[in-house]
Amino acid sequence: MTYAGGRLVHDADSHLMEPVDCLDPYFDARLLARFRALPYMERLRAEWAASIDASLARHEDAAFRAEIDDNILLRKNYEAHGAWAREDRPHALDLLGFASQLVFTTRCLGNFGLDQGDDMELCYAAADAHNRMMTDICSADRRLLATAYVPLEDIERAIQTARAAIGMGAKALMVPSLCPQHHSPSHVGLDPVWAMAEEAGLPILFHVGGEEKLNPAYKENGLPPVPDFHGGDDNFTSVSYMPIPNSAMQTLATLIFDGVFDRFPALKFGAIELGASWVPGWMRSMDSAAHAFMRNETRLQTLSARPSEIVRRQFRAAPYPHEDAGWIIANAGEEVCLFSSDYPHVEGGRNPLKRFDESLKGQPPRAIEAFYSGNFIDLMGEGLAKDLRRPVGQTAA
């Protein structure tokens, strides 16, 4: 019996756990040395490469592999089955029993800070290398849906990168929620990016890692340091958790108000691993803003519907397992929320289905089915093959 137990469940968030040099085989050879010389990459090699390689080497041990089935949701991060080995990931998905998984990077989230720099050649080379890596690894199984990253800093390069990613077989385009340095994410010059995604039937996704980070001054409170949630070097705490969706709220509102959603009405947008408790209040705030400013703003007068209605039509979000998904659905609408496991990250927990099931008690069956499968199928469009949408032998939640 799989973890999903025959239920029809699509997973909106899963990850690779890559070694430090994961992009090297996919990088433009002309620019690889420049990439490896980044201070961040040099620090990773010096401080993390050996321990990561040692963790990944455990997957070659026969005794370790003998306990795979019993530990599919207990082993996390680099110890998880299929964390990196291309040949192992389909078996991990077999054990989980999900009908499909969107697959994101871990090491490359945020594109190494290059979007906020001046070296646009290297910025887009890193994105292209990431996209080659993701589509290569996910080609091991049709159920693994590769996400490709498209920086929005340079409009012409963004168009080229999006076109290349779609040509490689990416099933979704991920963009940063952080505003580009010199123009709005709603700039009309980026319309070809949205047009290509809409024509291909692929969604535009935002994911944690591409947002504006907490001002570090907030942590200088004169008190002892707070323990990190992950045990890593980022010092992720309750305070740094709070601003995670801020950039997504601003960017998505701008895209809606400036008419991008309306110009591309078949295009779907998703917020993954950004939580969703913020969504109901954000929808109401946009409706309030549209009402307050409509008299003076033609762009608001020409919207096809209230912003909250546009959200229900074209936007989907994945709650964290510790959030009350039932409350979010009751206040945002049955069309919005998605299941995600965050496999194999520790944040996903050891039993995400149980946690979400508990929060969904009292919701009508149609809302539960939409949460576990229907809204994902709608989000993914042509990125999810028709025969994978409702596979034989899997039943609605």
Cβ neighbours of residue 90 closer than 8 Å, sequence gap 6 or more? 82, 140, 141, 143, 144
Its pTM stands at 0.96
Domain positions in the chain: 7-18+85-396
Average pLDDT along the chain = 96
Classified as helix, coil or strand, 263 is helix
The reported pLDDT for the residue numbered 234 is: 60
Q: Are 42 and 49 in contact (CB under 8 A)?
A: no
pLDDT in tens, 218-250: 999 999 888 876 555 466 789 999 999 999 999
pLDDT for position 228: 72
Collect all residues with Cβ–Cβ distance below 8 Å to 7 and sequence separation of at least 6.
Answer: 97, 353, 372, 394, 395, 396, 397
CATH number for 7-18+85-396: choose from 3.40.640.10, 3.20.20.140, 3.30.70.260, 3.90.650.10: 3.20.20.140
Beta-ladder partners of 355? none
Q: What is the pLDDT of residues 154-198, one digit of tens each?
A: 999 999 999 999 999 999 999 999 999 999 999 999 999 999 999
Average pLDDT over residues 20-39: 98
Structure tokens at 28: 């433009």
